Chain A
Amino acid sequence: MKFKLTFWRVVFIVIMGLGLYSTFIRFFQGLGAVSNMSDRFPWGLWIGFDLLCGVMLAAGGFCIVGAVYLFNVERLHSVMRPAVLTAFLGYCLFIVGLLYDLGRPWYIWHQLIYMNPHSVMFEVGMCVMSYTTVLFFEFLPNVLERFNLKTPIKWIKKIYAVLVVLGILLSTLHQSSLGALYLIMPSKLHPFWYTPALPFLFFGSAIAVGLAMTIFESTQSAKAFGRHLELPVLVELGGALLVALWVNALLRFEDYFHRGMLGQIIKPSYEAYFLWLELTLAFVIPITLLSFKKVRLSPGGLYLASVCTVLGFITNRLNVSVIGFETYAGHHYLPKWTEFSVTLMIVAAGFALFGLAVKYLPIFPEVRVPVKQRLRSETGPAVSTPVLGHAGD
């Protein structure tokens, strides 16, 4: 096969090249040289985006697995594999990001022996480690199927109930504990974002974003890989997303109401602008869009609503981790280009690995199914999946 230099491949190579340069700076000149982090701003883009957003964007895995296996929503089966793939890749890349951010990444294993059970960071670390392991086993059947290894698939099938329950338990714990990390900074984080409800808000937003990401990546891969778009599944996800957004919006409103903040959030200020941006993207636009049945039934409308949701909650997490600290620090933090380039490299690697996995592994199994069967699959999605399609059950 000849390697063709397309536009996106050139972009990819440039991103990788700059990323490698930044990697060199990071590990040979230190955190101070590669980033704009300082004693005033000890956590920057890498914590705000790679960690907080990365884990949130990977939440689709546990949302869909939960829907399919706990609540028997069989119709969502076709998006489960891409969701698990996204989650697995997301967590692996998040760990890579962590190795950049930690000052002494070579001691990361200390987490396993010098445990401090009072630390939220300890809980986050342990959950991420164990959940990545669970995701590895949830993802493994894809690889085993590729090589037609039936016996190990049977083993995984036997423990799948345990994997499902464990995966959702660990996700609940650490999606919320990412919010709990910030509970110890009541005097530093701006009151727009500091609330005792942070763990609940982080968990709630993870579910909304998990659903939105599943819509996003299904549409995106349908476009990119020329696959058949399963509209009924997306419509279902869109409905669930609307409910999740309303629940989130209600939680936010309740929180501001009980803390008597409603008067303050409508007054213009530096923080208020970012809050408005966040609320518009995360709630106003997608809820309005999805409230129209016409939009909810169209692939383009669903795509737009889910992209808005994802951007909105990314803004939310960056507000919590960066913007919310600027007044306290008395200092504007803007990441250095090398910080951006490392993050971009990790994101680009994620896209590339996703593409490779889809190409070489049975992530979207229906594609190899002949047209006749595909037609049948529209009436009953489970029918057309090849024998091993349900290996994960």
Chain B
Amino acid sequence: MSKALLYDSTICIGCKLCEGACAQQNRLPYDDKIAAEPVQSAHKFTVVLAKDDKFMRRLCMHCEHPACASACPVGALHKTKEGPVVYDVWKCIGCRYCMVACAFAQPKYEWHSLNPRVRKCTMCPDRVVAGKQTACAEICPTGATKFGERDDLIKEAQGRIRQNPSNYLPRIYGLNEIGGTSVFILSSMNVEEYGYPASAKIGDTPMPEYTGQVMSKVPDFIPVWTLVLGGIYWISHRREEVAAAEAEEKNGSAK
């Protein structure tokens, strides 16, 4: 069964322990200066944003049908059956199509490296496969970030909204967005205010379908178009041959 994360911003206290745990897990530098950076980057896979006294976490959404994986020409990104969307650096050629394809703008790049990698949250795949929870969920002191089975977390999120309707906006961000993700967000504020794309804008259609509609026609298009082009070539050159033969005949009779 596939795993997921549920982030409930109403119980987040903005301690940023998840940022530190993430950095440690992914062997990234982490100090006060990096903690103060309000953006994700190649050295900061997750960020806790603050607005007034409300907090919001950003991280890779681990889409059910990831745009990045469908976009990658060499298949360096893929969705595992456990849930995480992972990256095989040794395949990557550095075209950065994943970065422009991702609706959540999650893949980041090592712009100053001479052998640059795409970096993003990979949902601690080694830990998940080993049956452990992600580093961020494990360290979270309030349970704002919770790790578990995707189906269970959806039920739990629905339950929280039902029990405490005044506390939450009545929606689970990530449930249906671009075909569903493996990270769900509960909030009392619009997540769009923290840089998440609006649900209406990205829609419920899985991203790979937009290009899939074209790509699926290619295997049929190739033989048909080859036949058409070959046919035109044959006809126009046949005409030429016939004309040449006729001209010869004429010349012959003229003599």
Contacts and interface: CB of A to CB of B under 8 A. Distances in A.
Given A72-B239, A165-B230, A114 B76 contact: yes
B111 A180 contact: no
A116 interface: yes
Given A103-B93, A107-B93, A39 B214 contact: no
B103 to A, nearest CB: 5
A327 interface: no
Interface in B175-210: 197, 201-203, 207-208, 210
A39 B215 contact: no
Contacts of A27: 114
B222 interface: yes
A38 B213 CA distance: 30
B129 to A, nearest CB: 22
A222 interface: no
A379 B92 CA distance: 57
B93 A105 contact: yes
B93 A181 contact: no
Contacts of A70: 229, 232-233, 236
Contact of A30 (B116, B197, B240): B116
B70 interface: yes
26 contacts: A37-B111, A39-B108, A42-B96, A42-B100, A70-B229, A70-B233, A70-B236, A71-B236, A103-B94, A104-B93, A107-B74, A110-B92, A111-B73, A115-B75, A116-B70, A122-B74, A123-B218, A165-B229, A165-B230, A169-B222, A172-B225, A177-B214, A180-B214, A181-B97, A184-B67, A184-B210
A102 B91 CA distance: 13
Question: 4 shortest A-B CB distances, which residue pairs?
Answer: A103-B94, A32-B111, A121-B73, A42-B99
A164 B100 CA distance: 35
Interface of B: 39-42, 67, 70-76, 91-97, 99-101, 103, 105, 108-109, 111-116, 197, 201-203, 207-208, 210-215, 218, 221-222, 225-226, 229-230, 232-233, 236-237, 239-240
For this complex, into which size category does the number of interface residues on chain A fall? Answer: 35 or more
A328 B7 CA distance: 26
A102 B74 CA distance: 13
Interface in A155-203: 161, 164-165, 168-169, 172-173, 177, 180-181, 183-188, 196, 199
Interface string A98-118: 000111110110110011111
Nearest to A103: B94
Contacts, number: 168
Contacts of B229: 70, 164-165, 168-169
Contacts of A180: 211, 214-215
A104 B103 contact: no
Contact of A116 (B73, B197, B214): B73
Contacts of A251: none
A interface majority secondary structure: helix
Contact of B71 (A31, A110, A119): A119
B71 A184 contact: yes
Interface of A: 27-33, 37-40, 42-43, 69-72, 101-105, 107-108, 110-111, 114-125, 161, 164-165, 168-169, 172-173, 177, 180-181, 183-188, 196, 199
B111 A31 contact: yes
Interface centre among A28, A101, A110, A177, by most chain B C-beta atoms within 10 angstroms, is A110
A120 B215 contact: yes
Given A72-B240, A103-B109, A104-B92, A184 B207 contact: yes
A37 B109 CA distance: 10
Nearest to B230: A165
